[in-house]
Chains A and B, each alone.
Chain A
Amino acid sequence: MKKTFKRTRLAALVVFAASGVAGAADEKPADNAAKPADAAPAAKPAPAPSRLPYGWLPLSASAPPQVSQKEWVRTPIDAFVLARIEAKGLKPSPDADRGAFIRRATLDAWGLIPTPEEVSAFVADTSPDAYEKLVDRLLASPHYGERQARRWLDLARYADSAGFQTDQTRANMWRYRDYVINAFNEDKPYSRFVQEQIAGDELVPGNQDVLVATGFLVGYPDNYNSRDLVQRKFQITTDITDTVGQAILGTTVGCARCHDHKTDKFTQKDYYSLQAFFANTSENFKNPAAKGQVEREYDRQWAKWEEASKDLRDKQAALIAPIKEAALKHHKERYLTDSREAIFKPESEWTPKDRWINHRLENVSTDADLEVYLRVTGEDKDFPDYSAENVERWEQYKKIKDGLKKLDKLKPASGSNTFTAATELGHPDAPPSFILAGGNHEKPLDEVQPAFPAALTDAKPIITPTTVSSGRRTALANWLVSPENPLTARVYVNRVWNEYFGKGIVSTVSDFGKAGDKPTNPELLDYLASNFIKNGWSVKSLHRDILLSSVYRQSSSHRDDVQAADPENKLLAVFPRKRLDAEEIRDALLVASGKLNDKIGGPSVFPPVPSNLNAGPLWEVSKDPADHNRRSLYIFTRRSVPYPLLASFDMASAQQVHSKRDVTTTPLQALTLFNSDIVFSWSQALAGRVISEAGNDESSQIDRLYQILFARNPDESEKAILKSFLVDHEKTITEKATDGKLSVAIPVGLKDTHSLDPIRAAVFVDLVHVVVNSNDFTYRF
């Protein structure tokens, strides 16, 4: 920041700048940056493979290794894992019992817990393909797509709002979320899934189903209020590039924004050449959507508002008309010097960059911007354009505005009749891209062209512009999933492995560079990646292979020998237990309490929040109570107001690529699950469900509760603990009930409440609430 970068000394300076920063030192000075900018790609010899970061080496296709315990090997995956277990002198763990397995598999595939009926059917299924039938049933359900979508949305920094201070609602981003759900449910090849998200608008122009995929690119956090549109363009392009780099390539390209990458041979030139693929990318969030039920309902409601408000709006427009030009000018003057240059230029003189800026201006401008002028000139005597006429206009305008506000309730509360997609605004010519000194967009150095990282690949982009687009993103998308690129498949299969086993084969799931961790089992990773490509990038096949492996079927019970030989469980001789994700905790509670509304897709919803959250208009609870019990995936992602229950349990941050869920254990989580009125109400509903299903026998009730929550019966000591609680706690509740100050909470949802002993019933509610709070519920074993 304090240094002045000069073009001629770039190479020396970037190395110097890098070495001034604490942390890992640069391995080698970046030789690329020293070369003249234009000459590098063609002249560069093929990099020696051994110098490439691991992830870029060609996929090796080694045969599954020989193992002694052959009968344990159900899939090639097992051979790769077992060979290493045996090399340590260990044996794998026995299969988990069927109850534990179906709970585990249902949580992993769906993010939900199985019903007791599903559990008992599976436990009782003696056919040889019982596991295959279970896994195929899980993968065929739309809940599979919901669960996998949530994981992808973490990477896409998905949100339903723009972020920053005003954090406006993006009322149609849910279409991108639904695209992702559908892609997983249809088993869209991952290669195609990537291509559509990067370049859907170029690949299949005019097809809404594909266009919405580019919501991946344009879902960036955005500051609609920005007065520096040149800076905004740079920041947006940066976000897109870094998102693609991390989510798909598992590479922290963003490091090279300010300086050559210190550990990977990724130069600033490589970085800005990658940015250049997105130089012409804009967004359109007002594309008219095809008419389905949501859209028709939206239109119908909107028409009601339009009709009711027509008179007022006409009057408003008439008031603005005489000052419209001055108001528009006033609004445009708020932008900074270089933005204004583009904004006040006649359209005939627009460069591609001016085009981007003016489109941006139009996208974020609203009638309220014109109103500002009327207000200051009608209210503020010191303002240069203050006039008596505008005083009068403003008075009238305010009255109309109040009238219009009263009609706001007629507007559709959710949904949309539009969709958001990337666009190049109908032009194939892109603004130039530059290497930027220190990542400062006001300090351009050499111009760069779209290119793949020169140190990593010899492949050159083949860019074919269309009449309406630069074709750059298509070239990038094709390369991402091409045979020359071994990284895309490796990164994705590793992410899936990470979700099942809590740790990737490369544990730094978004960094396959030299600073990332080495793969614990490179042959396995390459087998998974090669097989993934061989199976036509079928994500379901990948899941099926893992779900049906012996590795996945193992028990999670503690073993002293494994603990001693492999304390971090890198070999996977024991199945790793895992804390449920935030969404799984909430969704499983909804299933258990019988309250889940399992509708798939559609506009996002606002379930209730604690009254002291103080989020104001940013969180207006959905009117329809059915919306309160939708799966967590459908809860509105407001960037500045994370949904409290989920936020407590380490939900994804929607600001940047979220690579991996943290697992933290805090008193706030305890407060949340124990004290939240809504969680408590679910416990009441669960208690009611248990009594309905198990009858009045307390022993059967406890069995049923455990079957619902844990897919098993309680063991003897658990039962003894719980039974003695029923006896002891009755005294406490009785004391409380008779002091006249407090009521008791009883089970809800029962048809016949009159046969209940309320004291005993309240004791049972407390028991249920405690069991819901126990470790056995919050973990899957």
Chain B
Amino acid sequence: MSKASRRELLFKSIYGVGGLTLAAYMPGGGVFATPALAESLADPLAPKQPHFPPKVKSVIWLHMDGAPSTLDLYDYKPDLIKLAGQEAPPSFLNGIKTSTQGGVGKLFASNRTWKRYGQSGAWFSDLLPNLAQHADKINFIKSSTTIGATHDISILKLNTGDTSPGRPSLGAWVHYALGSANPDLPAYVVLYSGKKEPSGGSVNWSSGFLPAVYQGTAFRPGPSPILHLDRPELIALKEQRDDLDLLKSLNEHSASVHPEDSELQARLRSYELAYKMEATAPEAVDLSKESDATKALYGLDNEATKEYGTTLLRARRLVERNVRFIQVVSGAVELPGNEIAVNWDAHEHLESNHGAHARIVDQPIAGLLTDLKERGLLDTTLVVWTSEFGRTSYGQSGNGRDHNPWGYTQWLAGGGVKAGTTFGETDEIGLQSVGRKVDTYDLHATVLQLLGLDHLKTIYLRAGRSERPTVVYGEVIKELLA
């Protein structure tokens, strides 16, 4: 082919695919976890020793976004059903600040049937028939408490231990304290359901005042989970390999002038790691090799459960690849009568809201527990079912419930956990915790304990202050540990 005709041919094809005016997409995303290190940070992502032998290697943190009413899932209160329709007895409201919007005050019972399951005889409502089969794997915390009356600040507290932004999330602390166990993937991954990232989300997987390398990396839905994982459209794989070889020569040449400079050497390595990650990250979330049986286990064969099930199946694959902390945020769903998709936040229409959300998570979470167990991973993995708060025993808007930071249920399952037991309780109407309460700080301390970390010794020195994940609070709840 002559040069001229080759040129002509190519120009046609270039203009044809818009090669000259590339769509202007931008780079970025969360910084993540591999041991290409800045000199100033020594080796920030190298695996580090825990304080004592850990029970688990990975955590799957299932955040039920919007706050489910655990009164309608796990915390069976016959008295609430009896008293439904009456004003809450004033003694139950002692010491709490409430809103009065929407006729707050009259106790409310939803249309549930309750049964006990397993040898432990744990109560489950009819909303969670599949999860109920795992009663004996679960350790309930029925005296959960927190602070805050709105989601944002309580979600922040759930993840970072403060109601104002700026502190590192629990996952970032884990990442900082333990480093990465797999240089080919981020060690702290966030998965979410739904079309868009949870609003205000990134602050909930932020590294806060820790270096940015420890922040969570949000995995995007679809085959390419990380921003900028894909080569530019017009760069072929082989071409990029050539380019990287050139880059290596140039960087090695300039590094010879700065032989002492480990930061420059780290930057050289980071490109090779990135090249590797272009393959490892998509593989980590590719479900095509999963069997139909496995997919069915997570509800991938069902429209309602497919999205959340996909997220949890991805979570299991990340556990297999030694990702330390996987934070899964549940999504929103479009319900009749609501203009916009809503999460668990049932100020009204609790029946349809919780009916839909329970259906979305029940099969996938049950499937996750089964799958982890069958693969021998449950003993080394901690599954945490958590939310920013619960919902009130009194009704709102006639058929919903308001926010309740005073008493709600969360649960743990997996390695080191006292399975098939319940810790703590709420009062007779399920409004406030009584006895030993479990705050978010205690939950964090306990999760860290299971990872082999003493929350009091997990320290980062910031501007003269020894910071730790539990601020100045928190106690390991020994009763939760096997």
Contacts and interface: CB of A to CB of B under 8 A. Distances in A.
B229 A671 contact: yes
Given A612-B227, A744-B234, A226 B153 contact: yes
Interface string A216-258: 0000010101111001000100110000001000001001001
Nearest to A745: B234
B293 interface: no
B150 A225 contact: yes
A90 interface: no
A331 B102 CA distance: 9
Contacts of B424: none
Given A164-B152, A667-B34, A23 B459 contact: yes
Contacts of A681: 22, 24
Interface in A598-623: 607-616, 618
B203 interface: yes
A22 interface: yes
B232 A745 contact: yes
B147 to A, nearest CB: 9
Given A165-B152, A663-B40, A511 B273 contact: no
A17 B472 contact: yes
Contact of B10 (A667, A744, A767): A744
Given A647-B30, A758-B6, A558 B259 contact: yes
Interface stretch (B52-60, B238-246, B308-316): B238-246
B203 A163 contact: yes
Contacts of B3: 757
Contact of A653 (B7, B208, B221): B208
B182 interface: no
A676 B200 contact: no
A205 B152 CA distance: 36
B337 A608 contact: no
Interface in B23-67: 23-34, 36-38, 40-41, 44
B274 A515 contact: no
Interface stretch (B72-80, B163-171, B319-327, B361-369): B163-171
Contact of B264 (A226, A684, A725, A779): A779
B97 interface: yes
Interface string B86-103: 000000000001111111
Contacts of A674: 228, 231, 240, 243, 271, 274
A166 B267 contact: no
Contact of B25 (A379, A673, A676, A736): A676
Contacts of B463: 246, 252, 508, 510-511, 516, 659
Contact of A239 (B164, B260, B274): B164
Contacts of B17: 743
Contact of B20 (A334, A671, A748): A748
A259 B473 CA distance: 13
A508 B462 CA distance: 9
Given A334-B101, A774-B251, A678 B398 contact: no
A769 interface: yes
B82 interface: no
B27 A22 contact: no
A516 B463 CA distance: 7
A221 B164 CA distance: 8
A112 interface: no
B398 A380 contact: yes
A775 B251 contact: yes
Interface in A749-781: 753-754, 756-759, 766-767, 769-771, 773-776, 778-779
A615 B26 CA distance: 13
Contacts of B275: 670
A49 interface: no
B51 to A, nearest CB: 12
Nearest to A161: B200
Contacts of B307: none
Interface stretch (A37-45, A488-496, A634-642): A634-642
B197 A608 contact: no
A223 B227 contact: no
B28 A645 contact: yes
B482 interface: no
A758 B32 contact: no
A771 B226 CA distance: 24
Given A744-B234, A745-B19, A611 B153 contact: no
Contacts, number: 431
Contact of B14 (A511, A609, A744): A744
A678 B26 contact: yes
B99 A641 contact: no
A648 B263 contact: no
B267 A376 contact: no
Nearest to A227: B149
A277 interface: no
Contact of B228 (A24, A338, A671): A671
B222 A612 contact: yes
A672 interface: yes
Contacts of B242: 725, 728-729, 732, 766
Interface string A16-60: 010011111000000000000000000000000000000000000
A25 to B, nearest CB: 10
A235 B253 contact: no
Contacts of B472: 1, 17, 20-21, 258-259, 438
B133 interface: no
A684 to B, nearest CB: 8
Contacts of A334: 99, 101
Contact of A776 (B240, B254, B459): B254
B151 interface: yes
B468 interface: yes
A126 interface: no
A662 B41 contact: yes
Q: Which of A382, A616, A756, A766 has the most CB of B within 10 A?
A: A382
B234 A166 contact: no
Contact of B27 (A515, A516, A648): A648
Contacts of A154: none
A302 interface: no
B250 A776 contact: yes
Given A21-B466, A558-B259, A628 B24 contact: yes
A665 B26 contact: no
B212 interface: yes
B203 A639 contact: yes
Contacts of B165: 163-164, 221, 639, 655-656
A665 B267 CA distance: 6
Contacts of B151: 165
Q: Which of B10, B16, B163 has the most CB of A within 10 A?
A: B10
A270 interface: no
A330 interface: yes
Contact of B270 (A17, A228, A667, A735): A667
A553 interface: no
A68 interface: no
B342 interface: no
B330 interface: no
Contact of A662 (B34, B97, B211, B246): B211
The 8 A-B residue pairs with the shortest CB-CB distance, nearest first, are: A644-B28, A23-B466, A382-B398, A515-B464, A676-B27, A165-B152, A670-B274, A165-B200
27 contacts: A1-B439, A22-B466, A23-B468, A163-B203, A164-B200, A164-B203, A166-B152, A226-B153, A338-B97, A386-B398, A577-B261, A608-B25, A609-B26, A610-B28, A612-B224, A642-B28, A650-B211, A656-B209, A671-B229, A672-B27, A674-B271, A676-B27, A721-B246, A732-B236, A736-B239, A758-B14, A775-B251
Interface of B: 3, 6-7, 10-11, 13-14, 16-17, 19-34, 36-38, 40-41, 44, 97-104, 148-153, 155-156, 163-166, 195-197, 199-203, 206, 208-209, 211-213, 217, 220-222, 224, 226-236, 238-240, 242-243, 246-247, 249-251, 253-255, 257-261, 263-264, 266-268, 270-271, 273-275, 277-278, 337, 348-349, 397-399, 439, 441, 456-457, 459, 461, 463-466, 468, 472-473, 475
